[in-house]
């Protein structure tokens, strides 16, 4: 079994290592929160320039895989040069593996990720992220592996029929005309109920719970 994707580690942000040797922050996870109030100007997300990459593996980092998901729409709000709110949608049907060269194996992996075992794209074609809070990153209080982290972003992440709030460090650059937000963090797929053949199935135990997400979000007027 070569698949998995999505969810988050409960508690404060800690340092962890995702399978395949990618060092990244673990997102703190909690219950759904109220969306941040929209203030300032709304900038449209540039879906062509935005990139969302995932990485997962079997336990111990065995048989790692990397792929992408497409951000299809969204806006970010900027007020006096500060990111204040926003949301974006992700096409779950767009999930792609980018490391397998064998086309048959790649198609099998992508098909499984799209199945009811994981994303169930036929029933849930869209995932969503909605910002609930943006606050300055304080290196004296938190330690992040993201170089140049400037903010902590919290938001409601909806996968399938479940919504949880996640918090992660990000490097944000904002002006009146454009916003760039970069993040590299891990989430725990099981928190969103993504379990292969059930949460207590030995086959699911062989898959790493943590999934690494790398986000490069771009928005402009």
State the pLDDT at residue 164: 98
Q: pLDDT digit string (tens) for 3-50?
A: 333 222 222 333 333 343 356 899 999 999 999 999 999 999 999 999
Tokens of 213: 């997400």
Distance CA 58, CA 208 (A): 5
Q: pTM for the full model?
A: 0.86
State the pLDDT at residue 207: 75
State the pLDDT at residue 58: 74
Question: In sequence order, what are the beta bridge partners of 130?
Answer: 87, 156
Output the tens digit of pLDDT for each of the chain's 221 residues.
333 332 222 223 333 333 433 568 999 999 999 999 999 999 999 999 999 999 998 776 778 999 999 999 999 999 999 999 999 999 999 999 999 999 999 999 999 999 988 899 999 999 999 999 999 999 888 889 999 999 999 999 999 999 999 999 999 999 999 999 999 999 999 999 888 765 665 555 467 889 999 999 999 99
CB neighbour list of residue 56: distance below 8 Å, 6 or more residues apart:
3, 4, 5, 18, 19, 64, 65, 207, 208, 210, 211, 212
Percent of the chain, pLDDT > 70? 84
Distance CA 179, CA 77 (A): 9
Query: Strand locations in the chain, DSSP E?
Result: 9-10, 15-18, 22-26, 28-31, 41-45, 51-56, 65-79, 82-97, 126-136, 151-159, 162-174, 178-188, 210-220
Residues 167 and 157: beta-carbon distance below 8 Å: no
State the pLDDT at residue 197: 62
State the pLDDT at residue 140: 87
Interstrand relation of 82-97 and 65-79 (parallel, antiparallel or unpaired): antiparallel
Q: Which residues of 93-106 are buried (b: 16+ CB within 10 A; e: fewer)?
A: ebbebeebeeeeeb
DSSP one-letter code for 103: H
Asked: is 9-220 a CATH 2.40.128.110 domain? The reply is: yes
């Amino acid at each position: 079994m070569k698949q998995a994707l999505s969810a988050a580690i409960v508690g404060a942000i800690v340092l962890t290592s995702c399978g395949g040797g990618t060092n990244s922050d673990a997102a703190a996870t909690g219950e759904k929160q109220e969306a941040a109030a929209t203030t300032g100007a709304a900038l449209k997300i540039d879906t062509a320039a935005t990139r969302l990459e995932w990485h997962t593996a079997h336990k111990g980092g065995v048989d790692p895989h990397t792929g992408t998901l497409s951000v299809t729409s969204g806006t970010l709000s900027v007020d006096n040069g500060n990111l204040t709110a926003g949301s974006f949608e992700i096409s779950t049907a767009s999930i792609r593996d980018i490391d397998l060269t064998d086309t048959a194996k790649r198609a099998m992996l992508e098909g499984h990720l799209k199945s009811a075992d994981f994303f169930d794209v036929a029933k849930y074609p869209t995932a969503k992220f909605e910002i609930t809070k943006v606050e300055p990153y304080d290196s004296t209080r938190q330690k992040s592996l993201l170089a140049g982290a400037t903010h902590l972003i919290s938001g409601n992440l909806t996968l399938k029929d479940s919504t949880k709030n996640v918090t992660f460090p990000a490097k944000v650059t904002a002006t009146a005309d454009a916003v760039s937000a970069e993040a590299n963090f891990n989430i725990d797929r099981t928190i969103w109920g993504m379990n292969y053949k059930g949460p207590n199935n030995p086959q699911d135990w062989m898959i790493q719970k943590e999934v690494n997400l790398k986000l490069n979000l771009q928005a402009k007027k």
